C-alpha cells in the first residue's frame, strides 16, 4: 500500500456532488497524490462531450441507431441525461434548474472554480479519469460520446486502483 | 490489515445505488476478496422478504401489532417502505415508478444482471450480508422480516469488519 | 497508518444521513478510535447555531450585509438552508416535513438518540468537528454562525486526517 494514492468513485452526476468530487480529487493531487477518478452509473454523464461535438470517427451508438424497434428507451434516456458539466442538477433545491444557477452564482462570488474549470484542472494535474464500461453500455453511450483522454474499464480495474490507495471515497 | 477484505455499507435502498453496491461487492468477491455488506437505515429494505413470505416461527413485529394506540406510524412506514429488490425507487428520475422500469429494460438490453440476480450471486459468492439491528428497531422490523441467511449486528461489528478491510465504501 | 483513527466526511445535511454519520462516528469513538468529522457543502448546516443565537463578537456575513445589489441570492440561501439539527429534511419521503416528524417519532419509540443528542455525545467523546471553510464562503456563512468548538479548515486538512486513518467514510 502506498500512502500517496487516492481514488474517488463518482456514482452521481448531481452538480453539488460532482463539485465535491473534483475539489477532493484536485486537492489530493495538489498535495502530491496520484489520484484516480472512476465514473460509474450517472457519473459517466459528467464526462459527456457537449452536444454536437462528437469525436471524428466515432462509432454509432448501438441502442440509439439500430432501428430495432426498441430505440425509444435509450433515446429518452439520452435526452434526459445530463450532457457534460454545464447541464447538471442539484441533489436538492433544484427548483427546475434555478438552484444550479444560484449555486454557480455563489461559486463565482466565493471565487470557487466551476465544474468545467475543476475538470480542466484535474486534467492538468494528470488525474486519471476512468469511465465504467458497463455504465456506458447501460445508457447506450459509445466511448466517443465522452470527452477525450478518458480511460475505459470495469469494476476489476476500480479495485486494482483502490487496493493500492489509502483513501477511497464514493460519492 | 489484509488486502483481500472489503466492506460495503449500504445506507440507501434506491434501486440504482443498490445495483452499484452489489456490482461492486460481487466484483470484489470475484477477484478473491472476502466481502462484507452491512445494511443500515433504508438499506435494510433490500433484504426484506417478499410480502406474504414470512419465515415460519417469526415473532410479531412489536410496533405494528402492539395495539398501543401508536401503531399508525410504523404501519405507514411498513406500507411505504420498499419490500425487497422488486419494488425499489431510483435516486432520481423515478417518475412515479416509470424510471425503474426503464432502468430494468436498459439492464436487460445491456445484459446487466438485475438486483435479484445480483443478490443471488452475492450469496453464491459467500458475501457476508449483515443487517443493522438498530435500523430494524427503527422501522419496527423483526429479523424474520428479512430473507434467510442474513446476520444481525450493530455499528461495533461494522467497524470490526472495516478495521480488517483495505477498502470500505458507503453508498 | 494507525488503526485507531477514523474520518467521516459529511457532505449531506439530510436528517437520515446526518443521523447515520453521527451514529457511525460515535460508535467508532466508543470503541476507542480517534474520530474526525469533516463537514463540507450542505454538511456545514448541521453545525449552524440556532437562529438568534449568534456568538458574541461575530463579524457580519459579507454576502448578506454588503448591500452591493447582489444580496438576494445568499439571503435566499440563508432562508432555505437548514439551521441546525432541528430543521432537517429527509433524503426521501420528506412529505413537506412530515417525514422527519415520523422518523423522530420512530427514533423515540426505538430509543435511538436524536440528532442533537448524537452531536452532544460526539462532543463528549471529543470527536473533532471540522467545518470546510470553502463551504462557509460558498453559502455566505461566518465562523460565528456555527456552534462553538468547531475547527475550520480546507481540503488539505481533510486529507491530513484521512491519511492517518484506516477507515474514511463519505456520506
Does the beta carbon of B166 lie under 8 angstroms from any beta carbon of chain A? yes
Answer yes or no: do C31 and B156 touch at CB < 8 A.
Answer: yes
Answer yes or no: do B41 and C16 touch at CB < 8 A.
Answer: yes
Neighbours of chain B (3+ CB pairs under 8 A): A, C
Q: What is the mean pLDDT of residues A82-88?
A: 74
Answer yes or no: do C167 and B168 touch at CB < 8 A.
Answer: yes
Answer yes or no: do B169 and A9 touch at CB < 8 A.
Answer: yes
Task: Count the residues in chain C.
Answer: 171
CA distance B92 to C61: 34
Confidence band (pLDDT; 50, 70, 90) for A65? very low
Per-residue pLDDT of B145-166, as tens digits, reads 999 999 999 999 999 999 999 9
A150 touches A123 (CB < 8 A): no
pLDDT above 90: percentage of residues in chain A: 57
pLDDT above 70: percentage of residues in chain A: 78
Contact list in C for residue A31 (CB cut-off 8 A) is: 156, 159
Please give the pLDDT value at position C107.
83
Report strand pairing: A167-170 vs B151-153.
unpaired
Please give the pLDDT value at position C28.
98
Answer yes or no: do C77 and A102 touch at CB < 8 A.
Answer: yes
- As a three-state string, the secondary structure of B14-60 is CHHHHHHHHHHHHHHHHCCCEEEEEECHHHHHHHECCCCCCCCCCCC
Please give the pLDDT value at position C3.
62
Among the residue ranges A67-76, B15-24, C99-108, the one predicted with the least confidence is A67-76
Does the beta carbon of B171 lie under 8 angstroms from any beta carbon of chain A? yes
Answer yes or no: do A11 and B20 touch at CB < 8 A.
Answer: yes
Please give the pLDDT value at position B59.
42
CA distance B146 to B131: 9
A27 touches A58 (CB < 8 A): no
B41 touches C16 (CB < 8 A): yes
Please give the pLDDT value at position A79.
55
Q: What is the mean pLDDT of residues B46-71?
A: 53
Nearest to A155 among B27, B111, B171 (CB): B27
Which of B100, B159, B161 would best serve as a mutation to test chain C binding (most C beta carbons within 10 A)?
B159
pTM confidence score: 0.84
Answer yes or no: do A41 and B19 touch at CB < 8 A.
Answer: yes
Contact list in A for residue C155 (CB cut-off 8 A) is: 23-24, 27-28
CA distances from C111 to C19, C27, C85 (A): 13, 16, 18
Please give the pLDDT value at position C61.
41
Please give the pLDDT value at position B49.
87
Give the CA diameter of chain A.
51
Query: What cell numbers appear for C100 in the block?
Result: 422527519
Q: How many CB atoms within 10 Å of residue B3?
A: 12
Q: What is the mean pLDDT of residues A125-140?
A: 95
Nearest to A93 among C73, C80, C163 (CB): C80
Q: How many CB atoms within 10 Å of residue A49?
A: 18
The three-class DSSP label of residue A50 is coil
Q: What is the mean pLDDT of residues A29-52?
A: 92
Nearest to A16 among C41, C80, C134 (CB): C41
Nearest residue on chain A to C9, judged by CA atoms? A169
Please give the pLDDT value at position A106.
82
Among the residue ranges A61-70, B2-11, B71-80, C21-30, the one predicted with the least confidence is A61-70
C106 touches B74 (CB < 8 A): yes
Q: What is the mean pLDDT of residues A95-120?
A: 83
Please give the pLDDT value at position A61.
41
Q: What is the mean pLDDT of residues B48-58?
A: 61
Answer yes or no: do B31 and A76 touch at CB < 8 A.
Answer: no
CB pairs < 8 Å spanning A and C:
70
Helices (H), chain C: 15-30, 62-65, 72-80, 98-109, 115-124, 133-138, 155-164
Which of C75, C162, C167, C169 would best serve as a mutation to test chain A binding (most A beta carbons within 10 A)?
C162
Per-residue pLDDT of A1-25, as tens digits, reads 456 999 999 999 999 999 999 999 9
- How large is the ipTM? 0.82
Please give the pLDDT value at position B107.
83
Contact list in A for residue C41 (CB cut-off 8 A) is: 16, 19-20
**Of A39, A42, A23, residue with least CA distance to A125:** A23
Helices (H), B110-170: 115-124, 133-138, 155-164
Backbone region of residue C105 per phi and psi (left: phi > 0; alpha: psi in -120 to 50; beta: other values): alpha
Q: Give the distance from residue A16's alpha carbon to the nearest chain B alpha carbon, in angstroms.
A: 14
Please give the pLDDT value at position B88.
85
Please give the pLDDT value at position B87.
75
Q: Which residues of chain C have pLDDT under 70?
A: 1-3, 51-83, 95
**Of A68, A65, A76, residue with least CA distance to B99:** A76
pLDDT above 90: percentage of residues in chain B: 57
Distance linking the first and last C-alpha atoms of chain C: 23
Confidence band (pLDDT; 50, 70, 90) for B75? low
Please give the pLDDT value at position C134.
93
Radius of gyration, alpha carbons of chain B: 16
Contact list in B for residue C91 (CB cut-off 8 A) is: 12
Nearest residue on chain A to C8, judged by CA atoms? A169
CA distance C28 to B158: 10
Among the residue ranges A22-31, A101-110, A153-162, the one predicted with the least confidence is A101-110
Helix axes C155-164, A15-30, angle to 10 degrees: 70
For residue C129, the cross-strand partners are C37
B167 touches A162 (CB < 8 A): yes
CA distance C143 to C164: 26
Confidence band (pLDDT; 50, 70, 90) for B62? very low
B127 touches B36 (CB < 8 A): yes
Please give the pLDDT value at position B56.
47
Please give the pLDDT value at position A73.
55
Amino acid at each position: 500500500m502506498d500512502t500517496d494514492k487516492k481514488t474517488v468513485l463518482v456514482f452521481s452526476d448531481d452538480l453539488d456532488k460532482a463539485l465535491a468530487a473534483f475539489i477532493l480529487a484536485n486537492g489530493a493531487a495538489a498535495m502530491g497524490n496520484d489520484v484516480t477518478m472512476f465514473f460509474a452509473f450517472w457519473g459517466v454523464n459528467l464526462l459527456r462531450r457537449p452536444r454536437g461535438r462528437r469525436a471524428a470517427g466515432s462509432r454509432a451508438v448501438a441502442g440509439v441507431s439500430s432501428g430495432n424497434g426498441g430505440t425509444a428507451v435509450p433515446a429518452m434516456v439520452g435526452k434526459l441525461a445530463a450532457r457534460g458539466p454545464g447541464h447538471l442538477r442539484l441533489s436538492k433545491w433544484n427548483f427546475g434548474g434555478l438552484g444550479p444557477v444560484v449555486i454557480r452564482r455563489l461559486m463565482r462570488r466565493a471565487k470557487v472554480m466551476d465544474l468545467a474549470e475543476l475538470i480542466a484542472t484535474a486534467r492538468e494535474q494528470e488525474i486519471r479519469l476512468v469511465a465504467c464500461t458497463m455504465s456506458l453500455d447501460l445508457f447506450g453511450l459509445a466511448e466517443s460520446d465522452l470527452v477525450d483522454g478518458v480511460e475505459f474499464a470495469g469494476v476489476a480495474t476500480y479495485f486494482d486502483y483502490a487496493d493500492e490507495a489509502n483513501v477511497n471515497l464514493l460519492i
